Structure 1
């Protein structure tokens, strides 16, 4: 099941699926990848952007277990590219209501490689469907060069905003993804897109009980 979940000003007080996501992010980004990012209570990877303005796309196994997630940040607010990595682009950083930043793309380390590929497909599809349903025209982000190369293969209409930065051992690229009426068709042609429905999860809810479906005017189903 795929959820669209909002953040709150007190992320550590959110529901169990949010907390499972923050725990998984700590396992992946801190324990495995050795990122120098904040950790709260020794368990949760939560930074300054995990607030009431954040939107999360979460893939869950139907029993409340986090399988993968991504965070979408409005570019009218402070976000990673304009706050932490503005030097990665010589172009003007996009800041408007129709542009969101994709961050913290995370796949569970507890599942098999084949399962991770399926969760990756679900997340990519959900990000595309969210854009179609919520009027997003552009995504931006920062990624290692090798990950950007993978993103390009998915079928997104994407381009780097600058040459890769050689300032660290992991070359970083700022990028932009344009969303058009052909986006889902492009993703479908590469085989990454899968038909999904999105569900809204209240910030403090348990996914198996305190859930509600998106209303018709709020939902987008790709078929």
Structure 2
């Protein structure tokens, strides 16, 4: 199940959040080679891992992290606006109360599937759509790799580039927006035959940073 972690309930998930930082370090530094993110404490955290961050953590039956993701209000400092503003070369950086940024989407190696969107990945994507629908978020901005545009298009997320790709750390990255909709949620659920909610608890009463 996907657990939504906000500033209100983060103490309850303290161990899982710390585990997520260590997993991110293994994936982004050791696996992907982003060595400028390396830290001696083996925790991958940046300036956006603060009280404004909303984490979606995929936890197994023993509450171990299998994957995760992060949402931040577009009205707060975030990756696109503060690190990659050049990606918005055609359309302006989207900022509104109902627009959030989606970053740090990862799955542990043992939960991945070659040449396919894994079950954990699909659950995280469904959870992002569910959370946003429940909280009145209509659109997400994403810094991603160009192949994801096609994937999102097939799933009905209506990806729209903000500008041309740039080369960063030897790979192409692009800024895009995607839409939140019941249609996108249905299409994403069909990918892995997911039925019903993937969120462990309702988020209606949780305070999101915005």
Per the shorter chain, which TM-score range? 0.7 to 0.9
Task: Find out whether 1:3 has 2:3 as its counterpart.
Answer: yes
Q: 1:12 to 1:26 in 2, by over 3 A?
A: farther
Q: Which moved more, 1:51-60 or 1:176-185?
A: 176-185
Q: What's the counterpart of residue 101 of structure 2?
A: 101
Structure 1 segment 136-175 matched on structure 2, within 5 A: 136-166=137-167, 169-175=170-176
- Cα displacement string for residues 31-78 of structure 1 (whole angstroms, at most 9, x for unaligned residues): 111124544552210110000000001100010210000000111001
Residue segments in structure 1 that go unaligned for 5+ positions in a row: 200-212
1:43, 1:168 → 2: CA distance? 20
Residue segments in structure 2 that go unaligned for 5+ positions in a row: none
- Cα displacement string for residues 111-167 of structure 1 (whole angstroms, at most 9, x for unaligned residues): 352797010110010001011101000000101223333333333121111122246
Alignment RMSD: 2.8
Q: What's the counterpart of residue 86 of structure 2?
A: 87
Q: 1:159 to 1:85 in 2, by over 3 A?
A: same
Q: 1:64 to 1:4 in 2, by over 3 A?
A: same
1:72–1:102 Cα contact (<8 Å) kept: yes
Q: What's the counterpart of residue 71 of structure 2?
A: 72
Structure 1 segment 124-203 matched on structure 2, within 5 A: 124-166=125-167, 169-188=170-189, 191-192=191-192, 194=194, 195-199=196-200
- Normalization by structure 1: what TM-score? 0.80
Q: 1:80 to 1:112 in 2, by over 3 A?
A: closer
Q: Shift of the alpha carbon at 1:186?
A: 3.6
Q: 1:24 to 1:122 in 2, by over 3 A?
A: same
Task: Find out whether 1:35 has 2:31 as its counterpart.
Answer: no
1:128–1:183 Cα contact (<8 Å) kept: yes
1:145–1:173 Cα contact (<8 Å) kept: yes
In the alignment of these two chains, the number of paired residues is 202
